[in-house]
C-alpha cells in the first residue's frame, strides 16, 4: 500500500499511547492495532507492522524495569522460554486459521476477569499466602505458554492476562509480576515478529517510525509503574479489559 503523511499522523501518536498503556498493565495492542486499521493499513500488514513497533518499545520498558530490580530472575527461565514457544505456535496458527473461535471463547472469560479485579481491592497478594518455588515455576511456565500462544495468535491484552495470572495464581507481588510480565511479553512479541518477518507483511517505513513513538510511550509508562505500582496498574487493567470486550463484541 502507499504510505502517506496522514498514515503516519494517525498511527504514531496512537502507538505512543498504546506503548504507555502496555508498559503499565499490558493491552497496548488494543490502541495500537486499531490505529493501523484506522489509517487504512490491511489487516495482516497491520498485525505484522504492529509487532515490529510494539516489540521495539517493549525492549525499552523491559530494560528499565530490569535495571530497577522489578524482575524475579528465578522465574525468568519458565516465563521467557514458555512465552517464546507459545507465541511461535500461536503466530503460525494465525497464518492458517480464523480468530473467530478465540474471540467467542473470550466473551464469557473477560467479564469474569473484570469481576475478579473489581473484587480484589489490591492486586498484591496477602504476604502470609505463599506457595512453593517449584509450584510457582510450574504456574508461571504454564501461564506464559498459554498466554504466549494467545499473543502470537491474536494478541490484545496479553500483558494484562500475564499480570493477573502471575499475581493471582503465581502469588508474585505486582512489582515482580510487572517485570516478569514484560520479559515474557517481549519474548512472545519477538517470536511472533520473526514469523511475520518471513511472511513479508511488515511495512518497514511505517513500522520503524511507529517504533520511535512506541519506545517513548513504553519508557514513560515504565516510569509510572515504578512510582505508583499497583495504584495505577489496577484501574488500567479494568480499562484494558473493558476495551477488549467492546472490541470483540463490535467485531461480531
- What are the tens digits of pLDDT across the range 82-130? 999 998 898 788 777 666 776 777 788 788 878 777 776 666 655 555 7
Taking residue 238's Cβ as centre, other Cβ atoms within 10 Å add up to 15
The interaxial angle of helices 230-251 and 29-38, nearest 10 deg, is: 40
- Rounded to 5°, the CA angle 167-76-226 comes to 55
Q: In this structure, are residues 90 and 210 in contact, taking their beta carbons and an 8 Å threshold?
A: no
Q: What is the mean pLDDT of the chain?
A: 84
pLDDT digit string, tens, across residues 130-153: 788 999 999 999 999 999 888 877
Residue 97, SS3?
A: coil
Quick one: cell of 182?
A: 514484560
CA distance 160 to 28: 9
Quick one: cell of 158?
A: 496479553
Beta strands in the chain (DSSP E): none
Identify the pLDDT of residue 238: 81
Amino acid at each position: 500500500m502507499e504510505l502517506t503523511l496522514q498514515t503516519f499522523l494517525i498511527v504514531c501518536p496512537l502507538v505512543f499511547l498504546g506503548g504507555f498503556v502496555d508498559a503499565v498493565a499490558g493491552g497496548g495492542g488494543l490502541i495500537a492495532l486499531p490505529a493501523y486499521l484506522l489509517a487504512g493499513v490491511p489487516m495482516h500488514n497491520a498485525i505484522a507492522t504492529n509487532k515490529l513497533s510494539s516489540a521495539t518499545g517493549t525492549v525499552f520498558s523491559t530494560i528499565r524495569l530490569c535495571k530497577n530490580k522489578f524482575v524475579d530472575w528465578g522465574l525468568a527461565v519458565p516465563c521467557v522460554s514458555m512465552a517464546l514457544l507459545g507465541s511461535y505456535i500461536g503466530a503460525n496458527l494465525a497464518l492458517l486459521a480464523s480468530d473467530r473461535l478465540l474471540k467467542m471463547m473470550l466473551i464469557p472469560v473477560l467479564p469474569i476477569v473484570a469481576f475478579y479485579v473489581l473484587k480484589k481491592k489490591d492486586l498484591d497478594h496477602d504476604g502470609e499466602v505463599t506457595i512453593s518455588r517449584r509450584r510457582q515455576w510450574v504456574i508461571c511456565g504454564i501461564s506464559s505458554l498459554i498466554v504466549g500462544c494467545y499473543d502470537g495468535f491474536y494478541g490484545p491484552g496479553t500483558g494484562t492476562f500475564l499480570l493477573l495470572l502471575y499475581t493471582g495464581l503465581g502469588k508474585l507481588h505486582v512489582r515482580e509480576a510487572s517485570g516478569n510480565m514484560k520479559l515474557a511479553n517481549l519474548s512472545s512479541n519477538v517470536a511472533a515478529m520473526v514469523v511475520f518477518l518471513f511472511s513479508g507483511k511488515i511495512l518497514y517505513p511505517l513500522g520503524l517510525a511507529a517504533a520511535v513513538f512506541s519506545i517513548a510511550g513504553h519508557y514513560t509508562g515504565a516510569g509510572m509503574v515504578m512510582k505508583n505500582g499497583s495504584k495505577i496498574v489496577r484501574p488500567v487493567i479494568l480499562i484494558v479489559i473493558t476495551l477488549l470486550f467492546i472490541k470483540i463484541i463490535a467485531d461480531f
